[in-house]
Amino acid sequence: MKTRNIENLTQPLQFQNTLTNLHNNLWQLFELARENEHVTDCKTAFHVSGQYDRPDEFLQCLLDMVRVMFEPYPLGTFFLNANLDFLTSAISDKSGRLGYLSAISEEGESIESFWESRIATRLDELDYSVRDSTLIAMCSTGPDRYNLDLICEVGDFLEANFSVDDALALMSKEIKQTAQPSRAAYAGYSPDYALGNRLRLSLWLISDKALPASITHPHPQTPPHRSSNGI
């Protein structure tokens, strides 16, 4: 495809300023959720990201969050895609822990098998509690698997799909400015051509200060399927 000759930097100095603000805000985001502190007189960006036990996973989760939020061809509108308030409403002054995890399935592996073989074990290892957290899930896969079947498979397993009543309540919230329906899990989807038929699942787990962190099983290891009117 031929590149169009468009001068798209119509306000270059504002673009420059926005990049600077983006860098500063990302820096602050890393600082506000750090797991340890690197004490130095000249803290660089790699020092900030290095304040995490698993910086590569934290970065992957953050990148997948951006992919989901700005995905130009979303599979629907009742997901994390283009709905940042699903995430921000899960955070309150009682929130005390941000867990993060990112893993890739085997080729063609179902979400249930993937969860039981990889995710559940990692949750136990990291001492994360899905039962006591709001689960924010970003699911990526290749173009052949990026379809409505993926929403049903992942959303039903994580109990993240909206029912018709949930959807109506959400629309009412937008129209009448009423309270947003509360949920325990939200999911968003984005394509990644490098994955083929594998799934990459990146999770954020937001829990309150007073809640225990240890678990013996994920929430739930084999979730009951929601009714067929999920959206």
Q: Per-domain residue ranges for the chain?
A: 13-52, 54-208
What does the pLDDT read at residue 20? 98
Retrieve residue 168's tokens: 């109506």
What does the pLDDT read at residue 176? 54
Q: Is the confidence at residue 56, as pLDDT, over 50?
A: yes
Q: Is the confidence at residue 15, as pLDDT, over 70?
A: yes
| Region 11-30 average pLDDT | 97
Strands 199-208, 133-141: parallel, antiparallel or unpaired by DSSP? antiparallel
Cα 159 versus chain centre, distance? 15
Task: Report the percentage of the chain scoring pLDDT > 70.
Answer: 79
* pLDDT confidence band for 2 (50 / 70 / 90): low
What does the pLDDT read at residue 94? 92
Task: Report the percentage of the chain scoring pLDDT > 90.
Answer: 69
DSSP three-state, residue 105: coil
| Region 212-217 average pLDDT | 38
Domain covering 54-208: architecture: 2-Layer Sandwich (3.30)
Strands 185-191, 133-141: parallel, antiparallel or unpaired by DSSP? parallel
The pTM of the whole model exceeds 0.85: no
What does the pLDDT read at residue 107? 97
Q: Is the confidence at residue 140, as pLDDT, over 90?
A: yes
Beta bridge partners of 134: 206
Determine contact, residues 102/64, Cβ cutoff 8 Å: yes
* pLDDT confidence band for 185 (50 / 70 / 90): very high
User: What mean pLDDT, rounded, does the chain reach?
Assistant: 84
Least confident of 88-97, 113-122, 205-214: 205-214
Q: List the one residue out of 90, 112, 104, 116 whose CA is nearest residue 204.
A: 90
What does the pLDDT read at residue 225? 37
Cα 63 versus chain centre, distance? 9
Q: Is 21 left (phi over 0), alpha (psi -120 to 50) or beta?
A: alpha
What does the pLDDT read at residue 139? 98
Least confident of 20-29, 109-118, 177-186: 177-186
